[in-house]
Amino acid sequence: MRIARFSVDDEPRYGVVETDDPEGLTGTVSVLDSDPLYRPVQFTGEKLQLADVRLLAPVIPRSKVVCVGRNYAAHAEELGNDVPAEPLIFLKPNTSVIGPRDGIVYPEQTNNLHFEGELAIVIGRICRDLPKERVNEVIFGYTIANDVTARDLQKSDGQWARAKGYDTFCPLGPWISTELDVSDLRVSTQVNGEPKQDGRTSQFIFGIPEVLAYITSFTTLLPGDVVLTGTPAGVGPMLPGDEVAISVEGIGTLTNKVIVRD
């Protein structure tokens, strides 16, 4: 099931998407009566054309976005970093989240803004001290993320809150796929149609069970929290006017354009 958050006017709504288009520009959405994270799926009977709605970020994290750094060996190597001995965790604020086709704002404080395409996990249940064998019980579904990073600020600051945390630095979408085998999915990124990243989730250093067990050993995850699982090799700069399209096999494609704030 593909669950989208969308609007027709100003009011966010939820629906189940039926489409063959990876970005959801064509197809239909069957409207739900409420947020399916908190209530069972119940259809209203209304069906809309995707061309007539605006897809929003499929979830606004209730408290946090938790990210795993350097979870592909080749990505760690390309930046001159060692492979971590345990999951390297950092946070993004929920104010960094935007949706499909929303603009990624290029801050004036950076000269080296990078894309990082990733598989993202949407948490469906409160969990703490989660055993690895029970991770599937707390996962609501999966979506696509761009862990936008000001690479020069990441280096100069020595910690990553500013480099990773600007408004618009966490595009999510286009929807949540609730039934998906994520053991070996292709994760790829294109900038202006040119291939940049091409990896597979089977290349994770730390798999999803290890990641969620590690995160919940020190913090509680809440319904709607999002976990970014790491990016393959091939990260690089993006400039105002560039269009970044991140695809995850079995989910779809998340596309955003880099803009300068007016």
Report pLDDT for 10.
Answer: 84
Residue 105, strand partner residues? 259
CA atoms of 189 and 236, how far apart (whole Å): 10
Report pLDDT for 62.
Answer: 86
* Backbone torsions φ then ψ of 52, nearest 5 degrees: -100, 0
Q: Which residues of the chain have pLDDT under 70?
A: none
**What angle is formed at CA 128 by the lines to CA 122 and CA 132, rounded to 5 degrees?**
75
CA atoms of 200 and 27, how far apart (whole Å): 28
Cis omega (within 30 of 0) on the bond before 223?
A: no
CA atoms of 5 and 60, how far apart (whole Å): 10
CA atoms of 232 and 56, how far apart (whole Å): 25
Task: Give the number of C-alpha atoms closer than 13 A to the C-alpha of residue 41, restricted to the C-beta side.
Answer: 10
CB 160 within 8 A of CB 114: no
Q: Which residue from 138, 118, 148 is spatially nearest to 251, judged by alpha carbons?
A: 118
Contacts of 80 (CB under 8 A, 6+ apart): none
CATH topology of domain 65-260: Fumarylacetoacetate hydrolase; domain 2 (3.90.850)
Residue 231 CB neighbour total at 10 angstroms? 29
CB 61 within 8 A of CB 99: no
Q: What share of the chain is helix, strand, coil (3-state, %, to 5)?
A: 15, 40, 45
Report pLDDT for 262.
Answer: 76
In CATH, the number for domain 2-55 is: 2.30.30.370
Report pLDDT for 237.
Answer: 98
CA atoms of 139 and 216, how far apart (whole Å): 13
Domain limits, the chain: 2-55, 65-260
Contacts of 39 (CB under 8 A, 6+ apart): 33
CA atoms of 37 and 57, how far apart (whole Å): 14
CB 43 within 8 A of CB 17: no
Helix (H/G/I), strand (E/B), else coil: 224? coil
Question: Measured on CA atoms in the order 20, 23, 29, 31, is the torsion positive or negative?
Answer: positive
